[in-house]
Structure 1
Amino acid sequence: MGGGMVGVVGDVVVAGSGLPDAGLVRKWLDEAADAPADLPDEGYIALLGADGPELEELCRAADRLRRQAVGDVLTYAVNRNLDTAAVAGTGAPARARLTALVAEARELGATEICMQGPLPADTDDDYLALIETIAAAGPIHLHAFRVPELLDGAARRNLPLPDFLAAARAAGLGSVPGTAARILDDEVRARMLGGPDLPVRRWTEVIEAAHRAGLFSTSTMVYGHIETPAQQLAHLRLIAEIQDRTGGFHEFIAMPFTPGPVSPGVGALPGPTWRQTRAVHAVARLLLHGRIANIQAAWPKFGFDAALSLLRGGANDLGGLLLDGALAPDSFAEAGITLTTREVERAAHTLGRTVRQRTTGYADV
């Protein structure tokens, strides 16, 4: 459960605390100094259980790799999030409202609209039509539609998925969120959902099809619920394998599980510990080194001060400012949670880094 380990995994001898022996962690820290992305499974599993001085050393190692990969730069994007259902509607007023929201975001300096969530089942709206409306109100980068929404869009148009993805890119879609990945383990996904979930194989096929269509994406992991360290590792390894095949991931985001309603067969879950959060971010930096250069500290999930700590332990990007605007500021789930450029600049000064606004694809603005 969460960050604990039970029994023996490879040569990982588990102590009574549920964490690996400190000497074993130090052994794998030494190995990681020369081959951070090439440890065997037991090495990464031990590092995911790092605590105390060994956790501090793991985070320092991850920070050194961050500097090697991207330098002493703190990046951020200026974006606005929209929930698909909140802006859907085929009538002229609904389309005018969406156009106005995009125009306002541009006026406030946004370079990205991020839109997620499914269309309501009973709507006569269409994903491609929404893409076209936003593109016409641009220019602005549209980062939109998770794997289930891409499948829904293809089904609504009665199109093969590759044809739908090509049409979406032609209409103005620039990239897709690699969310809805949760933990890429079929048993975990079914238990968390309380029933059948989109199979890992299918999720992988869709995200790779998006990459082949010229749509890059984020990669994510929701951790700190019922998964084991071995399942966290398998998730990271699958992300790395996809990247080796497609090169389509431009960043990795570890997102903590947020306790909510009790799921059948799971019970109440507290979410990850801070120790686990730091270890997950640091191990992601090690394992993905040479594959995915950008590790995001998802400040809306952790809080701003905690995100700064993660930026000292392997992360290099702060994510988006999440502009609200005056028009329909409640049109997305994180409404009311925003950053200012001044806050980002203060963070960069605290970290001793240069601040740089980036595009969705990490180019300079």
Structure 2
Amino acid sequence: MVLRAWATDRLAPVEQVTAALAAVTADPADVSDEQWVALLGADGTALEHLCALADTARRRVTDPDTLTFVVNRNLDTAVAATLPTRGPSLEDLVLEAVDGGATEICMQGPLPEDAPADGYLRLIERITAAAPVHLHALRPPEIRDGARRMGIGIDDFLHSARDAGLGSVPGTAAQILDDEVRAALAPPGVPSAVIEWTEVIEAAHQVGLFSTATLLYGHLETPAHQVDHLRLLCDIATRTKGFSELILMPMVAQNTPAHLRAEAVATASTRETRALHAVARLMTLGCFDHLQVAWTKLDADTVDAVLAGGVDDIGGVLLDGVLLPQAGAEAGRVLDVEALTGFADRGGRILRQRTTAYTDPAPDRLLRLDGAVR
């Protein structure tokens, strides 16, 4: 399959979009992959129709009146590994987050090569011993790295991580689940086969850990790649029942692979973003209940648009705290009360705080937002 030009926005012929809209209106389960590709190229009134269908589907699958969010703090694994046991310590950062209302710590990124062989497990134990908090950590590359360092299989490493306190796994680093696309995006010499991601995610589900799922768009992939990616995620979801949510993330300048930055700056149009979120909602019905917007990578108007087109969750508020606020990979990107309530108000939704597993937090863990949270 031929890769597209970098971030080229492709419209589909009107007659193909019209036929595909009729098919998805009748029954999303009977829409062909070619028709989903056509819908990804919808524009104008056809795009508005597609997004309305997606939002109607959202209302059937989730609470129609709410916009959910989780209170969390991000930690970079390499930074966390350097923190001492005293002031400011890793334990202090966890306690600060929990005192600020966090129910989740999200930790991603590799350990330095000179870290102890069981370094990932030590971090899991320290975080979960510091406070009662859900640890959402270790992407598939880190899980493979942890197993390699300890000289054990992926299943054994995951069992050990779960027993140490790991609660769930970020399904990031999926990019586009196509060997050709992944090879083009990966730095030279870095393994990029689809199985590098899918094998770990399925193993995590099998040991009782749930995970998120992601799709990275707006780079070298084609609409057909996007459809194939969603189809593969649905296949895994059907077999394992282990995904908690689907997150669509645009490629942006700061996360463009270093070896490609000289030749391209990644972008994705608002039209493409809206169409992809709508198609993802409709195409994954029965496989994913929750579709999350990557608010850190989109402007507020685009977030508003996708919230009106099938998205039910805005993700984490990403608390920084005062102690070592730069310890997270997205430091400075806190979703404050004004912005959070603004998204809900403009969309006619009521904010509802959730846990990582989409359950209700304990009453004493609810973040108070001037009565805006229920």
- What's the TM-score once normalised by structure 2's chain length? 0.90
Q: Distance in 2 between matches of 1:297 and 1:87?
A: 27
Deviations 1:275-313 (A, max 9, x none): 111111111001111110111111111033321211001
Match of 2:76 in 1: 83
2:322 is aligned with what amino acid?
A
Match of 1:9 in 2: none
Q: Does 1:221 align with 2:200?
A: no
1:151 is aligned with what amino acid?
R
Match of 2:365 in 1: none
Matching residue within 150, 163, 171 for 1:170: 163
Matching residue within 28, 39, 43 for 1:51: 43
Matching residue within 349, 354, 357 for 1:358: 354
Alpha-carbon deviation of 1:164?
A: 1.1
Match of 1:106 in 2: 98
The question of whether the paired residues in 1 share the 8 Å contact of 2:74 and 2:107 is answered with yes
Q: Distance in 2 between matches of 1:335 and 1:90?
A: 17
The question of whether the paired residues in 1 share the 8 Å contact of 2:85 and 2:91 is answered with no
Label 1:115 to 1:353 Cα distance change in 2 as closer, same or farther (>3 A). same
What are the residue-to-residue correspondences of 1:136-215 with 2, within 5 Å?
Answer: 136-195=129-188, 196-215=190-209
The question of whether the paired residues in 2 share the 8 Å contact of 1:4 and 1:19 is answered with no
Judge which range, 319-328 or 37-46, deviates more.
37-46
1:349 is aligned with what amino acid?
D
Judge which range, 69-78 or 252-261, deviates more.
252-261
Alpha-carbon deviation of 1:265?
A: 11
Alpha-carbon deviation of 1:91?
A: 5.1
Label 1:215 to 1:197 Cα distance change in 2 as closer, same or farther (>3 A). same
Deviations 1:239-278 (A, max 9, x none): 0000011011111011001134663699314321111111
1:249 is aligned with what amino acid?
F
Q: How many residues align?
A: 352
Q: Distance in 1 between matches of 2:183 and 2:198?
A: 16
Q: Distance in 2 between matches of 1:38 and 1:138?
A: 48
Percent identical among aligned pairs is: 51
1:134 is aligned with what amino acid?
I
Q: Does 1:312 align with 2:308?
A: yes
Alpha-carbon deviation of 1:217?
A: 0.5
Q: Distance in 1 between matches of 2:43 and 2:357?
A: 34
The question of whether the paired residues in 2 share the 8 Å contact of 1:77 and 1:111 is answered with yes
The question of whether the paired residues in 1 share the 8 Å contact of 2:139 and 2:172 is answered with yes
Match of 1:293 in 2: 289
Q: Distance in 1 between matches of 2:187 and 2:92?
A: 39
The question of whether the paired residues in 2 share the 8 Å contact of 1:62 and 1:283 is answered with yes
Judge which range, 175-184 or 155-164, deviates more.
155-164
Alpha-carbon deviation of 1:151?
A: 0.8
Alpha-carbon deviation of 1:35?
A: 1.7
Deviations 1:159-208 (A, max 9, x none): 22111111111111000000010011111111112434331023111100
The question of whether the paired residues in 1 share the 8 Å contact of 2:83 and 2:89 is answered with no
Q: Does 1:119 align with 2:111?
A: yes
Q: Does 1:324 align with 2:317?
A: no
- Residue 151 of structure 1 aligns to a residue in which SS? helix
Q: Distance in 2 between matches of 1:351 and 1:281?
A: 16
2:157 is aligned with what amino acid?
F
The question of whether the paired residues in 2 share the 8 Å contact of 1:76 and 1:321 is answered with yes
Match of 2:364 in 1: none
Gaps of 5+ in 2: 362-374
The question of whether the paired residues in 2 share the 8 Å contact of 1:4 and 1:49 is answered with no
Q: Distance in 1 between matches of 2:329 and 2:344?
A: 27
Label 1:326 to 1:136 Cα distance change in 2 as closer, same or farther (>3 A). same
1:338 is aligned with what amino acid?
V
Alpha-carbon deviation of 1:140?
A: 0.1
- What's the TM-score once normalised by structure 1's chain length? 0.92
Gaps of 5+ in 1: 6-17
The question of whether the paired residues in 2 share the 8 Å contact of 1:115 and 1:144 is answered with yes
Matching residue within 234, 239, 244 for 1:240: 234
Q: Does 1:252 align with 2:246?
A: yes
Judge which range, 311-320 or 187-196, deviates more.
187-196
The question of whether the paired residues in 2 share the 8 Å contact of 1:262 and 1:268 is answered with no
Matching residue within 36, 56, 65 for 1:72: 65
Q: Distance in 1 between matches of 2:359 and 2:40?
A: 32
The question of whether the paired residues in 2 share the 8 Å contact of 1:3 and 1:48 is answered with no
Q: Does 1:281 align with 2:274?
A: no
Q: Distance in 2 between matches of 1:219 and 1:323?
A: 22
